Amino acid sequence: MRVLLASDDSGSLKEIIFNRGTNTSIKTALQPFHIDIHLNQGLSNRIDKIYHVSDSLLLLARHSGSLELVSSKRVSKDVDETNEPKYDVTEFELQDLISGLFDQSVLDTLSSKSKKKSKIEDQFVELYLIKKSAKNPIFLAATKSGNVTIIEVDLHSTKISKIASHKIKAPVEFVTLYDLDKSDKFVMAYGGEENLVRLIELSSDFKEISDIWAAKNVPFDNIGLRVPAWDVALRFLESEKNGVYNFITITKYAQLRKYSTNAEDCRPVKSITLLPKGEQLNSCKIIGDTSPLGNFQSSNFDELEFLAADSRKDVYQFNGKGRLLRKIAKGDITGFASCIAVTDKYLLQGGLDRYVRIFDLADYKLLAKIFTGGKVSDIILLEDNDLELPLTEKQLKMKKKKEAKRSIVEADEDAENEDLWNKLESKKRKVSKNDI
Amino acid sequence: MAVDELRIKNKQKRQKLFAELKDQHNKERHSMRRTRAKEERENPELKEKRLAENVPDTIDNLRVYDETMGQEVEGEMDDFMKFFNGTEPPKILLTTNVNAKKKAYEFANILIEVFPNVTFVKRKFGYKLKEISEFCNNRNYTDIVIINEDKKKVTGLTFIHLPEGPTFYFKISSFVEVEKIVGHGRPTSHIPELILNNFNTRLGKTVGKLFQSIFPKNPDFEGRQVITLHNQRDYIFFRRHRYVFRNEEKVGLQELGPQFTMKLKRLQRGIKEETEWEHKPSMDKEKKKFNL
């Protein structure tokens, strides 16, 4: 398996090559074959988001407000083949960058009103592909301060250029694109702390942005107090009618809210409290049949299952009815899971405890646990096949013994078969009455 | 040999015989030790060899493997980087929890003597931690230390590194006042030297760095005062001494006090934001696993 991760402490990109069963916490267990640091720029320039553009290109969103296009090249590594499997390592090289995408001044004014005790720092909250193209794919990068930048990547000349930039209301926790139909429309939803969900539409030339729908907060609670709004993640569901959008949001206060733009009052259709003791949730990743951007390919709210991490140490799995199904790696994770990524078969988790864990989504068994040395803010899985390990001396001896035994047994069997055939052929065939 | 193994039915006789046997055994042991000590005085290599061969099993040296030990720290030392790159001395604001009782103020008086460049501010109602940290940031404080008092006992210490965290919460126990330490000295206002012992894991290094960032890097050696923070099985022992060179070989120590023990309960990113590490009661079940 090969993963790339953003390591905060050194502000670097890390490549890790390992097999299933790797566990750095156990001395005698399998250890990763290769961990290497690339493009380190320090804590203040750490990588917020990674996007795998193609086999040889990566987009990195740095905490300094710059987007970097990085080329990668596989080089075979010289290893002692008797002890280690043969594998390729990746070399990275910066090709192009765009900087100055942050606007800290917006967040400075919002910091005093925020529930967060620390000053809000600008950072990239989203980086993903919005339009596929063989030559010039188009990406969206969104920041906490509400800057939405549309970028074009020239795959041939390995250059990035800014097509358009838009301003949305800050603070932004997510900007989710509706990618469940094949229309030319770019409908997106965004929200954040005291920033209720809004749907916006980006024109096909990416130059204009327009509001199409805005959510209202849930009604006052039973003692007549206003309920605080802080959506942290949003996922779309497939819509049954054209122009109607269904989606779920997860709030910081551990609520699951189901919305439909068809609803008369623009309020959530349903709001369910997921955790009873005031835990804070921070993410939402849907498991199962999802689009490339993680939206759910079904219109039924009750069918979905999703993962969410709290701000302490747990990763929970809930169903669409808001029922807790399980806790992932119960007790093993010791810090906030700042990154959860879901692929077809695997769940990747990394966090402030400086470990990367990989789970099998079929049975939630821990496949690998690796100490990375730095806090993890993003992970991508590049390869999921295991390397073939060279045999140890003991295994080689056993293999030779087995082969020798098999050859002896085969020779004996051949001889016996030959004898039997000879005997059968030498016997005179009895002549029956029918033959005459 | 136990008393029962002597198989003498008379209890008094049995006990007497056992006492004689024990005395004999002790005498043999003492004489063996005397001769061994004499041999080792003449040939110090023998002692080294003996000590190298007979290493007793302790919980400390049987500790569970931790991959973070002995590894180099990646990058600069994360959130403390700013302090280490700068030349400014640390500036600490000391306060208590809201509605603190006498014990908290007494402990604050002691900490004022321990921490250099510290300002004590009585905690008032109506100010949230966010506002306090903003005031401190505007006045160039590098750390906030909050004494947590509960039911007239000092139970914890919170260290908040400014401007962007992290936040540490330690449980406080085994507090011994200066007056109760026999033969204690009186501390001077010199900046002390700092000894950090056994902070080996990645988490331990972060904790060690917190204490390094609280005390200035340029101690007054003429004061001959040392603060020791010794970590053993995740308990951090705080001791303060003054040393004196009696001759070229011997060094004398005088304890200045106070004594207390800290245990890390929680480490959070930023100012009490997401948890980086938290102690769970289930961690205490595993006796040989240590986190610092």
| ipTM for the assembly | 0.85
pLDDT computed for residue A167 by the predictor: 93
Residues B97-117: pLDDT tens digits?
A: 999 999 999 999 999 988 888
Q: Which two tokens stand for residue A177?
A: 């694109």
Closest by CA position to A152, among listed A174, A168, A129: A129
Is B278 in contact with A10 (Cβ distance < 8 A)? no
DSSP B139: T
The answer to whether B179 contacts chain A (CB < 8 Å) is no
The residues facing B94 across adjacent strands are: B120, B145
Distance, in Å, from the CA atom of A319 to the CA atom of A321, rounded to the nearest integer, reads 5
Q: Where are the beta strands (DSSP E) in B139-198?
A: 143-150, 153-161, 167-176, 193-197
Q: Which chain B residue's Cα is nearest to A113?
A: B130
Instruction: Tell me the pLDDT band of B216, cut-offs 50, 70 and 90.
Output: confident
In Å, how far are A14, A45, A339, B166 from A98, measured between CA atoms? 22, 14, 25, 31
Contact predicate A35/A372, CB 8 Å: yes
pLDDT computed for residue A51 by the predictor: 93
Position of tokens 């402990």? B107
Q: Which chain A residue's Cα is nearest to B160?
A: A118
Closest by CA position to A301, among listed A276, A325, A282, A322: A322
Residue scoring higher pLDDT (A19 or B82): A19
Do B122 and B195 have their domain in common?
yes
Amino acid occupying residue B233: R
Is B275 in contact with A311 (Cβ distance < 8 A)? yes
pLDDT computed for residue A301 by the predictor: 87
Sequence-separated (6 or more) residues with CB below 8 Å from residue A93:
A70, A71, A72, A73
In Å, how far are A135, A429, B145, B216 from B219, measured between CA atoms? 63, 111, 21, 7
Do B269 and B137 have their domain in common?
yes
Closest by CA position to A147, among listed A114, A111, A103: A103
Do B90 and B211 have their domain in common?
yes
Is A334 in contact with B277 (Cβ distance < 8 A)? yes
Distance, in Å, from the CA atom of B257 to the CA atom of B179, rounded to the nearest integer, reads 8
Residues of chain B positioned with their CB less than 8 A from the CB of A117: 129-130, 133, 270-273
Residues of A with CB under 8 A from a CB of B: 7-12, 24-27, 37, 40, 42-43, 116-119, 121, 282, 311-313, 331, 334-336, 338, 352-354, 371, 373-375
pLDDT computed for residue B279 by the predictor: 93
Helix (H, G, I), strand (E, B) or coil at B193: strand
Distance, in Å, from the CA atom of A173 to the CA atom of A145, rounded to the nearest integer, reads 9
DSSP A122: P
Here the CATH number for the domain that contains residue B188 is: 3.40.50.10480
Distance, in Å, from the CA atom of B25 to the CA atom of B30, rounded to the nearest integer, reads 9
Do B84 and B17 have their domain in common?
no
Q: Where a domain ends, among B37, B53, B69?
A: B53
- Whether residue B82 is predicted with pLDDT greater than 80 in this model: the reply is no
Q: Where a domain ends, among B34, B53, B72?
A: B53
Do B86 and B46 have their domain in common?
no
Q: Which B residues, 183 through 202, put their C-beta within 8 Å of a C-beta on chain A?
A: 202
Distance, in Å, from the CA atom of B61 to the CA atom of B219, rounded to the nearest integer, reads 33
B242, part of any domain? yes
Distance, in Å, from the CA atom of B283 to the CA atom of B279, rounded to the nearest integer, reads 7
Tell me how many domains chain B contains: 2
Domain that holds residue B22: 3-53
Do B18 and B89 have their domain in common?
no
Extract the residue ranges of chain A whose pLDDT is less than 70. Answer: 428-436
Do B15 and B115 have their domain in common?
no
Do B120 and B260 have their domain in common?
yes
B102, part of any domain? yes
Angle at B34 between CA B30 and CA B38, to 5 degrees: 170
Helix (H, G, I), strand (E, B) or coil at B18: helix
The answer to whether B81 contacts chain A (CB < 8 Å) is yes
Is A11 in contact with B273 (Cβ distance < 8 A)? no
pLDDT computed for residue A80 by the predictor: 78
B115, part of any domain? yes
Q: To the nearest whole angstrom, how far is the Cα of A170 from the nearest Cα of chain B? A: 20
Q: Where are the beta strands (DSSP E) in A267-375?
A: 270-273, 285-287, 305-309, 315-319, 324-328, 339-342, 346-350, 355-360, 366-371
Helix (H, G, I), strand (E, B) or coil at A304: coil
Do B13 and B101 have their domain in common?
no
The distance from CA B279 to its chain's CA centroid, rounded to whole angstroms, is 17
Closest by CA position to A299, among listed A246, A234, A262, A248: A246
B163, part of any domain? yes
Residue scoring higher pLDDT (B125 or B79): B125
pLDDT computed for residue A435 by the predictor: 61
- Whether residue B84 is predicted with pLDDT greater than 60 in this model: the reply is no
**Distance linking the first and last C-alpha atoms of chain A:** 73
Contact predicate A61/A46, CB 8 Å: no
Do B39 and B86 have their domain in common?
no
| B143-150/B92-96 β-pairing | parallel
Sequence-separated (6 or more) residues with CB below 8 Å from residue B226:
B192, B193, B194, B195, B240, B241, B242, B243
Residues B158-186: pLDDT tens digits?
A: 999 988 889 999 999 999 999 999 999 99
Do B22 and B85 have their domain in common?
no
Closest by CA position to A61, among listed A160, A134, A137: A160
The distance from CA B199 to its chain's CA centroid, rounded to whole angstroms, is 10
B224, part of any domain? yes
Distance, in Å, from the CA atom of A238 to the CA atom of A288, rounded to the nearest integer, reads 14
Is A311 in contact with B81 (Cβ distance < 8 A)? no
B69, part of any domain? no
Do B122 and B236 have their domain in common?
yes
Mutate to test the interface with B, among A22, A107, A118, A371 (most CBs of B within 10 A): A118
B64, part of any domain? no
pLDDT computed for residue B92 by the predictor: 93
The answer to whether B289 contacts chain A (CB < 8 Å) is no
Instruction: Tell me the pLDDT band of B240, cut-offs 50, 70 and 90.
Output: very high
Q: To the nearest whole angstrom, how far is the Cα of B60 from the nearest Cα of chain A? A: 18
Distance, in Å, from the CA atom of A306 to the CA atom of A285, rounded to the nearest integer, reads 5
Q: To the nearest whole angstrom, how far is the Cα of A8 from the nearest Cα of chain B? A: 8
Helix, strand, coil % in chain B, rounded to nearest 5: 35, 25, 40
Residues of chain A positioned with their CB less than 8 A from the CB of B133: 117
| Residue among B68, B133, B275 whose CB faces A335 most closely | B275
Rg of chain B, C-alpha, whole Å: 25
| Residue among A37, A117, A334 whose CB faces B272 most closely | A117
Residues of chain A positioned with their CB less than 8 A from the CB of B290: none
B185, part of any domain? yes
To 10 degrees, what angle do helices B11-42 and B44-53 make? 120
Contact predicate A88/A77, CB 8 Å: yes
Write down the H helix ranges in chain B. Answer: 11-42, 44-53, 81-85, 102-114, 129-138, 202-214
